[in-house]
Amino acid sequence: MEARRDPASEAGAAPKLRAEDLHKSFDGRVVLDGLSFSVADGESLVIVGPSGTGKSVLLKHMIGLLKPDSGKVFVEGQDVWAISERQRNELRKEFGMSFQEGALFDSMNVYDNVAFPLRRSGRPTREIRDRVRECLDIVHLPNVEQKRPSELSGGMRRRVGFARAIAHEPDILLFDEPNTGLDPIMTDVIDEVILNMREKLDATIVTITHHMPSARKIGDRIALLYGGKIIFQAPPDEFLESKDPAVRQFVDGSAEGPLTPEGQVVGKTRPSEEP
């Protein structure tokens, strides 16, 4: 056994989010395979990687929606699975998360969806109403308050999900492909909002995206997830210019290269210090 680190003793310098040696399989299929990473307070991390490598699974681990088979997740130095269910729920209120498919509550209209996190924090009605309007304006959806999620298009649903995630101005934001399937203008709008959140709220942000220009724009750092691990991470410019064959293949969008659909890395990838 390696020495167990005491989360409390490093709370001072603790990164906002940290994962340590995460392993997760579903029915014998390994998805996360000894993954470790951390996100500093106020940092914006972008995670990229081929479809089906486990980006969404990783994000769900960060907020305690999935429990790792082994390994640990720390939020603000607190081991997410060492605290009680109730404390975990409290901890989650510091998060805002948007889901890949929106995950809107379909028994409620758009207004109630966005108001949901605000109501739970017990704010006065007037303040809630103003904030909901504001959030829906931010994502350019002014006239849908009374609509049901089933009456919206896929892209609209995703934006409402985004509005719901930022409504209560949380400390930590997790976005699962916030701009996939949006038109170029909307994509940029979302990018701007993410940048804005970081500046205004000093939020710590983890974004999954397939869109490299967005990744470059909003990320302080880009990490490539593949084969259950983060195989390369660097600041955007460095990442995009990296000579690492796996990164090159991904950035250039080529079918030929070390990244295969089966999820195994063919050949060696270089260590992530110097490209």
Partner 1 sequence: MKFFEAIGRTVIRILEEFGHVFQMMGRVAGWTFRPPYDVPEFFRQMVRVGVDSVPVVFLTTLFTGMVMALQTVNGFARFHAESLVGSVVALSLTRELSPVLCALMVTGRVGSSMAAELGSMRVTEQIDALTALGTEPVQYLMVPRIAASIVMMPLLVIMGDAVGIWGGYLVAVKLLGVNPVRYIENSFQFLHVGDDVVSGMIKAAVFGLIFSLIACVRGYYTTGGAEGVGRSTTRAVVSGSLSVLFADFFLTKLLF
Check residue 89 for interaction with partner 1 (CB under 8 A): yes
The residue (of 74 and 99) whose beta carbon lies closer to ligand ATP is 99
Rg (CA), the chain: 19
Query: Residues 58-87: x/- map of binding to partner 1 (CB under 8 A)?
Result: --x--xxx-------------------xx-
In this chain, which of 56, 209, 214, 233 binds Mg ion, going by CB under 5 A?
56
Which of left, alpha, beta for 226 (phi over 0: left; psi -120 to 50: alpha)? Answer: beta
Interacting residue ranges for ligand ATP, rule: CB under 6 A: 26, 31, 49, 51-57, 100
Nearer to ligand ATP, 49 or 117 (CB): 49
Stretch that binds Mg ion, among 62-70, 78-86, 96-104, 235-243 (CB under 5 A): 96-104
The minimum distance between CB 262 and Mg ion, in angstroms, equals 18
* Residue from 48, 50, 68, 95 binding partner 1 (CB under 8 A): 95
Out of Mg ion, ligand ATP, partner 1, none, what residue 268 binds, judged by CB under 5 to 8 A for its kind, is none
117 vs 178, beta carbon nearer Mg ion: 178
Q: Could you tell me the smallest distance in angstroms from the CB atom of residue 89 to partner 1?
A: 5
Which residues of this chain interact with partner 1, rule CB under 8 A? 60, 63-65, 85-86, 89-93, 95, 97, 99, 101, 103-106, 116-117, 120, 164
